[in-house]
Structure 1
Amino acid sequence: MSNIAIFPGSFDPITNAHVDIIERALPLFDKIYIAIGVNSSKKPYIELETKKAILEEVFKGKREQVIIDSYQGLTVDYCKKVGAQFILRGMRSAKDFEFEQPISQNNQLLNESVQTIFLISSPGYGHISSTIVRDIHSNGGDLGKLVPQAVIDHLDGRDQR
């Protein structure tokens, strides 16, 4: 049996903090699904197909181990669909833990065979969030140290997918 994890999120956009968590988790799992959660009641900053294309670009050298996908509904149901035993989550602060802990416990109630694994952000990444990135971009700020180049290319219009 393979050790399969999903890393769920909106990735709106993916940040260097997300990439750091995924890169550090690669030695722990045989496969990691980057699972873009789709919430039809929210208007995304970046459309789903573009998010997928950006993620494909960012992880192009790791496509045997990293799978890009999207899902709707319960994360534990998606785990069952792809055969994942683990949900990977990044922790930037105690506030993230307070948010993620009850979700993890409820996921375990819904499917006791799925465990949540928390990785703490590497130094220098704890301040980065997609929300902050969107705000900086909306106000003309420099994203060079916050997101992968593929995100900048898309947001600057250089990526005409």
Structure 2
Amino acid sequence: MTRAVFPGTFDPITPGHLDVAERARHLFDELVVLVAVNGDKQPTADGVLRAIAVRAALPPDWRNVTVDAWRGLTADYCHRHDIAVIVRGVRNPTDVRHEQELAAMNESLGVTTLLLPTRPGLAAVSSTAARARLSPP
């Protein structure tokens, strides 16, 4: 059984996130959408509430996709849960550079990273932009 993890803050989950998850779920037997609990970021909700929101956003027929929240390195989660691949979405060259650095670190920790480019129509969508639209002026 091939398993992968798709980590992110998901604050909030966007159509771009759902697109990456939808494509990744067809590449692996099981995909875990991993809600990152990161002390360096200040999300609008705690990890458990974001995980609930992510779970609610997933179509019910995505039976091979689960959601979990995790505080710590994604590679540690992968080792603990016998997952060999991290899936990351990339929107632009800046994302690619950043994700390549993370991929190199995770590779040194024994976990491969698969970068999935965002579909062109979704490249401008980010959680930051989504939060700005949701926030009152």
Shift of 1:53: 1.7
State the alpha-carbon separation in 1 of the partners of residues 113 and 54 from structure 2. 22
State the alpha-carbon separation in 2 of the partners of residues 32 and 62 from structure 1. 13
Shift of 1:24: 1.1
Query: Letter of the aligned partner of 2:39 in structure 1?
Result: S
Paired positions, count: 137
Change (3 A) 1:100 1:65: same
State the alpha-carbon separation in 1 of the partners of residues 89 and 40 from structure 2. 24
State the alpha-carbon separation in 1 of the partners of residues 88 and 35 from structure 2. 13
Change (3 A) 1:97 1:41: closer
Alignment map for 1:85-96 (pairs within 5 Å): 85-96=84-95
TM-score (norm 1): 0.79
Q: Runs in 1 of length 4+ with deviation above 6 angstroms?
A: none
In structure 2, list runs of 5 or more residues that go unmatched: none
- What is the match of residue 100 of structure 1? 99
Alignment map for 1:50-89 (pairs within 5 Å): 50-62=49-61, 64-89=63-88
State the alpha-carbon separation in 2 of the partners of residues 78 and 6 from structure 1. 9
Alignment map for 1:1-161 (pairs within 5 Å): 2-62=1-61, 64-111=63-110, 114-139=111-136
Shift of 1:73: 1.3
Check whether the contact 1:13–1:46 (CA below 8 A) recurs between aligned residues: no
Deviation sequence 1:54-93 (CA, Å, 0-9, x none)? 2222225145311110111111111011111100000101
Shift of 1:4: 0.4
TM-score (norm 2): 0.92
Shift of 1:42: 3.4
Query: What RMSD, in angstroms, separates the aligned Cα atoms of the two structures?
Result: 1.5
State the alpha-carbon separation in 1 of the partners of residues 26 and 41 from structure 2. 34
Deviation sequence 1:111-147 (CA, Å, 0-9, x none)? 2xx210111111210001101111122245xxxxxxx
Query: Letter of the aligned partner of 2:97 in structure 1?
Result: E
State the alpha-carbon separation in 2 of the partners of residues 65 and 10 from structure 1. 21
Shift of 1:47: 2.9
Identity %: 35
- Structure number with greater Rg is 1
